[in-house]
Structure formats: C-alpha cells, structure tokens
C-alpha cells in the first residue's frame, strides 16, 4: 500500500480551504459613470476629480458640480447623482447594512430587496429606510423629500421623530417647521423629488415597516 505523503495532504487541505468564495465587499462602491465635474474627498484628502472605473470607500464625500453627474454601483445597488449633489459614505457603517448621508441635491437610489430594512439615506431633515426599492431623494435649505418610484419607503422626521410609510408613486416631505411631521402627497404621482408641497397639498400618514 502506498503511503500518502504529508506534502500531498497539505496541498489537498489548502485547495479545500480555498474553494469557498470570498465574501462580497459591502462597503466599496464603483464609479460606473462620471460626466462633467465630479469631485471626491476623504479623511486628509483634498478634493480630486472622480473618474469612471474608480472605487469609492467609506469615509468619502462625493460632490457633483453644475455640470456633473455620476453613477455609483455596488453589486446590484445603484446610486445616480444629479448636478449639485453631495453624498457622504460614513466611515463607520452598521453591521450588515448601509448608511449614506445626502447633504444636498438630488439622487436616485436603486436598492436590492432584503428580508429586513438594511439601507438608510439621511438628509439634514429626514431619514429614509428601506428593505429594497427605487426612490429619489431631494434636499436643500427648505427641506427634504422622498419620491418612491417602486416599493415603499419609511420616512422619518429627524427633528421630531415622527414617521410615515410612503408608497409607490407618492412623495413624502419634511420641512424644518415645528409640528410639520412627514407630509405625504394626497394623490399618486402628485409630487417628485423636487416638489415640496405644503401641508395644504399633502396629508399625514402613520408609521409602519418598510
């Protein structure tokens, strides 16, 4: 009977231990499109131009200028940044989840559906939390809004803690006004990410699960 040499056993074990696929990188985004002026900065790094094919890691701040547009992708999740928009990918990310900060501007988010809420976009006035959907976020000094293109989004007023579920085709609005809560357009398709209706054109809605 032939004896199996230790070196052969070691080689076999190394092969077995390496067959498992590497875990997907859930923190780094790839730039699939960059047009016009798109800038990126980070900890200790001044703003530089962001080009197609580059990767963006947590701790980065991405800004599109007047003529800038960009598309970021991570797996099947996609972020489309319109001109004069800024998002931040915080260095500290929740476990098994994603948190982004949109400080200003307009962006569209396409998020892969999961079993539980796992994707959050924060603006100065609201937080949008989803399991998976397509939605547009708009924010400026007058307030923020979320327009749901597909699915549903839980929108929370970060000032007073109130929340509302926004369904497909509707828009939720938050303004820095005491008692404003989360206002939802009373008709489907009644608003967009750039439309911030006042209380007279929108209705309140209770909270719920996204």
d(CA 88, CA 100): 6
DSSP output for 89-136? E-SS--TT-EEEEEEEEEEEEE----SS--EEEE-SSEEEEESS-EEE
What are 155's two structure tokens? 């929108």
d(CA 19, CA 194): 49
pLDDT in tens, 104-123: 999 999 999 987 779 999 99
Please say if the pLDDT value at position 90 is more than 60.
yes
DSSP output for 126-175? EEEEESS-EEEEEEETTEEEEEEEESEEEEEETTT--EEEEETT-EEEE-
The residues spanned by each domain of the chain are: 26-204
pLDDT in tens, 23-46: 345 679 999 999 999 999 987 778
Quote the pTM value: 0.79
Domain 26-204 has CATH 3.30.2320.80: no
How many residues belong to the chain? 210
pLDDT in tens, 188-209: 665 544 443 333 344 444 444 4
């Amino acid at each position: 009977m032939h004896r199996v040499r230790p070196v052969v056993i070691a080689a076999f074990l190394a092969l077995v231990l390496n067959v498992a696929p590497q875990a997907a990188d859930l923190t780094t985004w790839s730039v699939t499109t960059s047009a016009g002026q798109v800038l990126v900065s980070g900890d200790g790094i001044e703003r530089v131009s962001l080009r197609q094919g580059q990767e963006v890691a947590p701790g980065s701040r991405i800004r599109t200028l007047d003529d800038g547009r960009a598309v970021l992708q991570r797996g099947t999740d996609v972020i489309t940044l319109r001109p004069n928009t800024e998002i931040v990918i915080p260095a500290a990310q929740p476990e098994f989840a994603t948190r982004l900060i949109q400080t200003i501007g307009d962006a569209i988010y396409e998020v892969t559906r999961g079993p539980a809420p796992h994707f959050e976009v924060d603006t100065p006035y609201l937080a949008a939390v989803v399991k998976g959907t397509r939605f547009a976020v708009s924010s400026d000094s007058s307030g923020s809004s979320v327009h749901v293109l597909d699915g549903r989004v839980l929108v929370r007023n970060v000032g007073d803690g109130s929340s509302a579920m926004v369904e497909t085709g509707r828009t939720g609005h938050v303004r820095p006004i005491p008692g404003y809560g989360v206002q939802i357009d009373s008709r489907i398709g009644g608003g967009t990410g750039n439309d911030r209706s006042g209380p007279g054109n929108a209705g309140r809605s209770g909270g719920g699960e996204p």
